Every structure is written in structure tokens, then in C-alpha cells.
Structure 1
């Protein structure tokens, strides 16, 4: 998800979400900057795939970044209101699926005797 969503957001800006260009341009720039970070997180997650049972520290750091983003999204939900379905999907991934993936990776590390 981070590779596809981040890449499309970098290339298309807010248009990826069905929005017109953002004015002022600083908001578009910030949107694409955050999208670049999201894309880089996806690349970093992909580097964990080979021998994932040995990549615990990296996997946990990346997971923590995603969870921090999800908590920030939750602040927006509380402060501003419920976002669109796509953003709710992201919130579910960030605060539901990613913690489960962290537990799954720790289980693999324990099973295969790798450092958790």
C-alpha cells in the first residue's frame, strides 16, 4: 500500500484522492513531501521481506512510524470529523493491521530463533 499510494500521491498530488490542485501551493508541496516519506517507508518495508524473521528492529521502527501516523489521523478524526472511506481504511491499516503484523513478525523471530 505505501508504495502504490505514496507513488501516486507524489506524481498526482491531491488529485490522487479526487481533489483539485491545492492552493496555496505550499499545501500541495507538503502533501507530496509527506507522500514521499510514505513511499520511502514502503521501500523500507520491502527490504524486510527477505529473512523477515531477522529484521525485527527495522520492522518495529517502521511499524512505529506507521502507528504514529495512524494516531495522528485519529487526532484529525476527533478534532475535524470523520474522513472519507479511503482514509478510514488507512486508519484501520495503521492502528489495526500494522500492530498485528508486528506481533506476527515477533512470532516468526521467536519460532526461528532470530533476535526479536
Structure 2
């Protein structure tokens, strides 16, 4: 595949993946735990922590989006963000073992965190190598 075409496809896929943390994180900041169908009144500390984590989730989405324009040179940032997401997915494993299987939306998140994001990290790294090899030696 032509590296310019692959670059565009990778950019589109990452942009689509960013929709999840931006939309879910944003809604969770605004609505709090009620976004998940929980009672409108929850303990203050739980609401505060939920919105804090949602803010981080939203910021991760924004940060991934900043990688899109120069996806071929964003490897270090992309890997750091991916590692944060994978760490969150591993924390879900703890919950899965300790408390049980969460709702379908959270299972989807689990799949993104421990499936899609690691695959995107591998794709971005592999693509960046091909992109560098494609450049004329004066630009590498």
C-alpha cells in the first residue's frame, strides 16, 4: 500500500477512535455518574472522583487527536497515551476479578483499552518506520 494512503487511513482510524474518549468523557464530565444510568444523587466523593477520571479520559482523547496531523512523527506521545489507556484497561481487569462483569459499555471500553489501542500503537510504530524509509535521505 502507498505510504501516503496508509497515512490517511491511519489518521482516519485514530480520529474515529478519538470519538470514544471525547464523547464519553465529555458527557461524563457534564452529567457525572448519571450518564451511566446511576441515581442522580451519589456520594459527593464518588461524583468528584468520577468527574475527575472523566476529565482525564477526555484529555487523553484530545491528546490523541493532537497526534493525527503528524501521525508519522508522533510515536513517543502516541505510545505514552496508549500506555495510559492500557493501564486503565488493566485496572478494569482488577474490577472484573473483584466485582464481576460490567455493563456492555464498559466491556466495549475494555476491548478498546486492551485490544484496539495496543493494535493502533503497533500500527503507528510500524507505519512510522515505513514512512521514514520512504523519505529521501535528505529528509530522514
TM-score band, normalised by the shorter chain?
Answer: over 0.9
Matches for 1:31-42 after TM superposition, within 5 Å: 31-42=50-61
Tell me the CA shift for residue 22 of structure 1: 4.3
For structure 1, list consecutive stretches of 5 or more residues without a partner in the other structure: none
Aligned length: 114
How well do the aligned residues superpose, as a CA RMSD in angstroms? Answer: 1.0
What does the per-residue CA deviation read over 1:17-51, in whole Å, with 9 as the maximum and x for residues that have no partner?
Answer: 11113432110010000000000000000000001
Q: Which runs of 5+ in 2 are unaligned?
A: 1-19, 134-140
Instruction: Determine whether 1:61 maps to 2:77.
Output: no
Question: Which ranges of 4 or more aligned residues in structure 1 deviate by more than 3 Å?
Answer: none
Instruction: Give the TM-score taking structure 2 as reference length.
Output: 0.79
Matching of residue 79 in structure 1 with residue 98 in structure 2: yes
TM-score (norm. length: structure 1): 0.95
Whichever of the two has the greater Rg, that structure is 2
Q: CA deviation at 1:109?
A: 0.4
